[in-house]
Amino acid sequence: MGAYADEAERCIRCGFCNSVCPTTLSSIGHIPSRTSRGRLVLLQSSLNNGTPHPFTPRFKELIDLCIGCLRCLNVCPARIPIPTVMSSYRRAYIIAVGEKMLSRGERMVAHYEPIVKYLSRAPAPLRKILLGKPLLQLFRRIGEFADDAPLPIPEGGTLDKYFKKNAPRPGHRTLAYFSDTYARFVKPSVGVSARELLRTAGIELTYPRQYDSGVILWELGFWERVAKLAARNVDSLFEEVEKGRRILCTSPASTLMLREVYPKLLDNEKSRTVSEAVVDINELINGLVESGRLSANLSGFSPILHSTCLSQHLNLTGQIAEAFEKLGAHIEGVVTECCGSG
């Protein structure tokens, strides 16, 4: 675990993290080892005494109750990067026992990008068969996923193909769009909608060479693979920054990786330069509404916003809420509960 073993040792066991941890606040939270604080205590005991043994399936199962929501970062008085500590343990686990000891589900999720890439490019008749209920149920059973677990279903087509046909208009402000795998291969309509909206404000998007952000691999502990992806993405995006372009992200996970994870992982000037150039779509829209470059009459519109954990960590929810209110909408409420704890 390297330096993150020292971070685990700094835990003062106050339990503040328990108060915001989604899995701790679920029905299993009455068992100490299944709480956020309990996981750190387990790591401390293993690091200091060698017990319990850290590289057993049972120990990892308890650590894996951390889903990386980042809520604990705002309340930890010792400022321990708890989710990164848990990810560093998973990396140590893989190094110690090998990738083959991971569950089938983890190994399948680790190949998320090539799977959805293939499905997005498959002919429509073949994609319909592959995504039919029988094969999806088989996929769930092989990966030991819950029957009601939502799976990313590619809608067909890719953003690569779309942007190849829709080059940016000259003479307009241009941003470099880092879409990440979900918008690129699963829901290209996300990127298409973003481009159409920004065009009304006189902003064009270019689509540079890019790769998966590695956010899933980061959570699973495949740090070396993430480092390779990060280096390739940073090299490509740095060229865009040198042209005076900012980097647009439409996913909080992408914003997190480029803005926070890459600079720590690569620790070089290029990654820090790219990090500073990142703008999230929520921040951009709010700024465009504030300046009057985006306008609409949303009076009578009363949305309930879902504030994801990563959006809360990155302070993005307030950005889009402000934009809606400036356009005349009334925010009926904001749902802040974690949607990923099962």
pLDDT, one tens digit per residue, over 255-300 is 999 999 999 999 999 999 999 999 999 999 999 999 999 999 999 9
Per-residue confidence (pLDDT) for residue 219, from 0 to 100:
96
Running DSSP on this structure, what letter comes out for residue 31? S
Give the separation between CA 165 and CA 167, rounded to whole angstroms: 6
Tens-place pLDDT, residues 36-65: 999 999 999 999 988 899 999 999 999 999
Lowest mean per-residue pLDDT among 208-212, 257-261, 268-272, 336-340:
336-340
| Helix, strand or coil, per DSSP, at residue 154 | coil
Q: Is the pLDDT of residue 1 over 80?
A: no
Per-residue confidence (pLDDT) for residue 342, from 0 to 100:
45
Q: Are 109 and 216 in contact (CB under 8 A)?
A: yes
Paired sense of beta strands 278-280 and 203-206, if any: unpaired
Task: Specify which of 25-29, 123-127, 128-132, 205-209 reaches the highest per-range mean pLDDT.
Answer: 205-209
Average pLDDT of the residues of the chain: 94
Q: Are 67 and 22 in contact (CB under 8 A)?
A: yes
Q: Are 178 and 254 in contact (CB under 8 A)?
A: yes
